[in-house]
Structure 1
């Protein structure tokens, strides 16, 4: 993803301000590591119920099947891989991170909601940019499963509104004092 984004920017097809990446669940590993490794490449990052702390994911959500899918903490080679995948452990103090929207479901059976929440807390504590870092908790849904269609469309609407806001599309910019 980093190499592809670099290519597009170097060939003047786009600029970092115009690149938004979106992924969820295990795709959160890619999104989280891309943004922590090269935060300068992305204008916005959106992660839905993302696995952002692979070293702790074995202890939440789907439990032992996470060890089968991602690696076992008790195996030294797997541990090194899990650490490299772990976006939470790659957040650095004083880095300018892109605008970020992280979602989670309070009843998520696959990615425990404390994982995205913990990632957002560390990102907020270490970010040196003025870009928004938002956490949206869905109190009715989980991992995109049994939620009403209207709610799913509303969630998609929120995601696109955030992306268009961060990409600078004029119809999606706040007007007036948004702090009130």
Structure 2
């Protein structure tokens, strides 16, 4: 494997990681599933099994329980060996909810420990283990409508402005 292939593979893997987060936050099953091979396994401790089944299970929960989510990626360590790669990525997830008249933000910090495989030229997650470092739940004293007044809204579906510049399919689609 030459250096250019290593660099390109790292780029492709990072795109998949970003697509995963975007799919979660936009509640986009097709986009989220595109980060995984069809036979991929996802293990979060509380949910384990086929990754595509995980997507079908988690999106209704996120849609129903939270007003908004934001999944962020931090540093990734990527080690490539031919058509397989070991990847560890630090991540933080923020979930906003209102329950019983109390507004809260749940924050989760952890790591994705992934086995990526390149099949038919495409890097995707084959196995994922999610490790939890810590959680934090905080009450939000501000009314979110007041705090967000004047800002452009973020939408949790394909009507979000990002879909105007980042189509999933077609000639201008990002690399899948």
TM range (shorter): under 0.3
The normalised TM-score by structure 1 is 0.25
TM-score, with structure 2 as normaliser = 0.25
